[in-house]
Structure 1
Amino acid sequence: MKTVKLETELDAPVEQVWSIFADVTRSDWVPGVDAITEEDGIRSFNMAGIGEVQEKILKLDHQNHCLQYSAIKTPSGVDHHLAIVQLAPLANDRCRLQWTTEIEPEQFAIAIEQAMKLSLDGLRGVLASDG
């Protein structure tokens, strides 16, 4: 199993960033995804170049700004996927984002890391336009 970890500081208050992650059907910050649906804790979407993906929302903790989800259906044969997004407030209306993904088989780690980085860029773009 491989673990991919991104950590960065964002120029936005924790509540503003959390509102994006907490809306598990929001897709405007995720490249290659036009729409996300959610039913009974499972979100579903089609990702350009990949196909249909389903993720189970394992934890949505508004108080501690923590989201955990796991891919339960992918066209690529992922054996294990667990992602954790954790936000923490910083001074001056900023926050720290820590995004960790466990993936098996390890061959998918590079693609997962690239997708996470592109999504982080998309998040920054949405925050800039919202702010």
Structure 2
Amino acid sequence: MATIHRETLLDTAPDTGWAALRDWGSVHHRLAPGYVTDTRVEDDIRVVTFADGTVVHELIVSLDDDTRRIAYTVIGGSLTPAHHHASMQIRPETGGRSRFVWTTDVRPATLADPIAGMVDQGIEAIRRTLKD
């Protein structure tokens, strides 16, 4: 198994960042437009379509307003590793900014590099989108 961990500062207030992240059915509009081209929700499953055509089915495991954290696991779609679990979190920073934390565990470890590349692209889209 491999762990991919990324943190970045966002030029947005924590409540604004959390509102976008919490709206888990609107990733393609509020969080990472362009990188994610469509999101639809079927019960507690989020179906996400990426710009490269990859489609993943994600089971939402946790949505925690107190810690501003969402956790999910991939359960189907065109990218179905043996194991994929991730969490995203918005933490307050000084000056009214936010820290965005994205941690992903994936198995087999050979998928770490391609998944890390997707995470890095996603973070760039999020940074572009979440600016006050």
TM over 0.5: yes
C-alpha separation between the residues in 2 aligned to 1:79 and 1:71?
9
Query: What displacement does 1:50 show?
Result: 4.8
Contact 2:74–2:80 under 8 Å retained in 1:
no
C-alpha separation between the residues in 1 aligned to 2:63 and 2:112?
24
C-alpha separation between the residues in 1 aligned to 2:11 and 2:81?
34
Partner of 1:42: 45
Matches within 5 A, 1:4-43: 4-26=4-26, 27-28=28-29, 29-43=32-46
Where in structure 1 do 4 or more consecutive aligned residues deviate above 3 Å? 48-51
Question: Any idea what SS the aligned residue of 2:58 has?
Answer: strand
Query: What displacement does 1:45 show?
Result: 2.6
TM-score when normalising by structure 2: 0.88
C-alpha separation between the residues in 1 aligned to 2:126 and 2:51?
18
TM-score when normalising by structure 1: 0.89
| Structure 1, unaligned runs of 5 or more | none
C-alpha separation between the residues in 1 aligned to 2:95 and 2:36?
32
Partner of 2:65: 62
Provide, for residues 38-65 of structure 1, a one-character-per-residue CA deviation record: whole Å limited to 9, x for no partner: 1211001333445331000000111210
What is the root-mean-square deviation of aligned Cα atoms in Å? 1.6
Contact 2:88–2:101 under 8 Å retained in 1:
yes
How has the CA–CA distance of structure 1 residues 56 and 30 changed in structure 2, closer, same or farther, with 3 Å as cutoff?
farther
Q: Percent of pairs identical after alignment?
A: 28
Q: Which amino acid aligns with 2:19?
A: S
Question: Any idea what SS the aligned residue of 1:119 has?
Answer: helix
Q: Which moved more, 1:46-55 or 1:9-18?
A: 46-55
Count of residues in Structure 1 that have an aligned counterpart in Structure 2? 129
How has the CA–CA distance of structure 1 residues 6 and 77 changed in structure 2, closer, same or farther, with 3 Å as cutoff?
same
Please tell me whether residue 97 in structure 1 is matched to residue 100 in structure 2. yes
C-alpha separation between the residues in 2 aligned to 1:73 and 1:67?
19
C-alpha separation between the residues in 2 aligned to 1:97 and 1:110?
20
Q: Which amino acid aligns with 2:2?
A: K
| Structure 2, unaligned runs of 5 or more | none
